[in-house]
Amino acid sequence: MLENKNENGDAAGCGCEKSVCMENPPNSFILVIFGASGDLTYRKLIPSIFSLFQKDMLPSDFHIVGCARTPMDDLGFRKKVAESIRSKYKSIPAKMIEVFNQNVHYVSGAYDSPEMFSALSARLDSLDTQYPTPPGRIYYLALPASVYTDVIEQLSNAGLVSEKRDGASPYRRVIIEKPFGYDLESARSIERQMKNHLAEKQIYRIDHYLGKDTVQNILMLRFANMIFEPLWNNKYIDFVQITVAESIGIEHRAGYFDKAGLLRDIFQNHMLEMLSLVAMEPPASFDADSVRDEKAKLLRSIKRYKPEDVSANFIRGQYTQGIQNGEKICSYVEEDGVPQTSTTETFVAAKTFINNWRWNGVPFYLRAGKRLKRRVSEIAVTFKKIPHSIFNPLQPEDLHQNMLVLNVQPEEGFALNIQAKKPGAKLCMGDLPMDFFYRDIFKDEPPEAYERLLLDCMAGDSTLFIRNDTIDLSWSLLTPILEAWGENGSGAGKLCSYPAGSWGPKEAFSLIEADNRKWREP
């Protein structure tokens, strides 16, 4: 393990000279991006790779090969790459972009065309000759999930993903984006097709939420500090809330979203991943298998609901016309590409429990939605009331409960609310927030989540990627909910409505208020 430092001697990527960032610097690699002409590539992937490049966190010998159906040559792609970098980083010297672009190439063709993969193979073989030893290869599928298996099959047929069992050959890794299936059956079908060509260790299923510093910090907060873990159980914690709120609508994703819905789009991945990190047992060590073993155990412990219990514990909603930041917003069914008769949910609130010794009896309230009041993702852990008040006439119920809030976005950090005396009268008491935001402490924005995840894949660290068994477990939890709702939304529980710019349907408030609790106003 090496301490990776920048030219000023600071820990690379940290901005704090007292921090030690232990990284395994990646070896030489070639990154092939399928869908290289798409939004994800230009908005997230290229800026993230360039950021690692300018932080000197990439090896000196690396190459990026873009693949897409759009006809383009190397120079055309490099021009697009330069525009992508400048849109993210305004003051980057032209010379640095020029140096970076020397490593950028492009191959065009159809994703089901053997000729395109033959041309790609020839280009990769040519690049291999520039390395002293053959480099590893990473294939990033920035594509619709419907073509994953076609691309993997073509890669396999062209001999581009084969590894020798003795481990002597360079690695071949494939990164895929969510959604990982449509339901339990489709997820298992995709898994079977991928396993015809790839070993599990070659597959890196990416959820960008796991690359956010605050999400990773859940593990550090719990297991690197003695102050919290002894309290992290049903003796001291009253309930937990997880919120993933988006102020935007579906943008240009109507074709995907109207078929998927919010439960598939957010709950199956982001929500369950954050829940598992908050509630899992301590792993034996901070390595991929140990961490992911505990996440799988946690998912197995989440309460399963019978069809007749779904409507009492899951609220689904769809936004109607409303006002957001002074602007009139159309309803979901008025969005371009959405049928007027659509019953697709844009909001879900849920109440669930974890059936184990640590969490028995502690409710976990989850909510996520589109066109909500503001963009925010957070985890709020509320501790129990004090058992007895010595501050007469104040009673335990008069004092606010302590709360630890982990802010995932837009401002990464966390806050602990405690009770403290205010200046004034003897029993003048109130909340004292103890806030920490990465931007305030480190004087810089946290790195893009994709930076962390790409670097981990280059180094062969799969800790923050999703393993196949957790995909299966998450769908086994949610598929019965989807089945209870029915294909056209005519099943268990009505489709509630909420005005755009609000915090969701009133039924979601009733869900938590029935337990004499309230949703936190982020």
- CA-to-CA separations, 490 to 369, 471, 504, in angstroms, rounded: 20, 27, 20
Q: Which stretches of 251-338 are DSSP H helices?
A: 254-262, 272-279, 288-301, 310-313
User: Helix 148-157 vs helix 184-195: angle between axes, to the nearest 10 degrees?
Assistant: 10
Distance CA(449)–CA(226), nearest Å, equals: 27
Q: Is the peptide bond before 480 cis (omega within 30 degrees of 0)?
A: no
Q: Cβ(26)–Cβ(453) under 8 Å? A: no
State both tokens at 206. Answer: 């990416």
Q: Cβ(382)–Cβ(403) under 8 Å? A: yes
Give the CB-side neighbour count of residue 310, counting CA atoms within 13 A: 21
State both tokens at 418. Answer: 């405690």
Looking at 63, 105, 208, 270, which residue is catalytic? 270
Is 270 noted as a catalytic residue in this protein?
yes
Answer left, alpha or beta for residue 217, where phi above 0 means left and psi between -120 and 50 means alpha.
Answer: alpha
Cα-to-chain-centroid distance, residue 245: 14
Q: Cβ(105)–Cβ(63) under 8 Å? A: yes
DSSP letter at 361 equals T
What is the signed CA dihedral for 441, 445, 451, 456, rounded to 10 degrees?
10
Q: Considering all CA atoms of the chain, what is the largest pairwise distance in Å, rounded to the nearest integer?
A: 81
Catalytic residue numbers, as ranges: 270
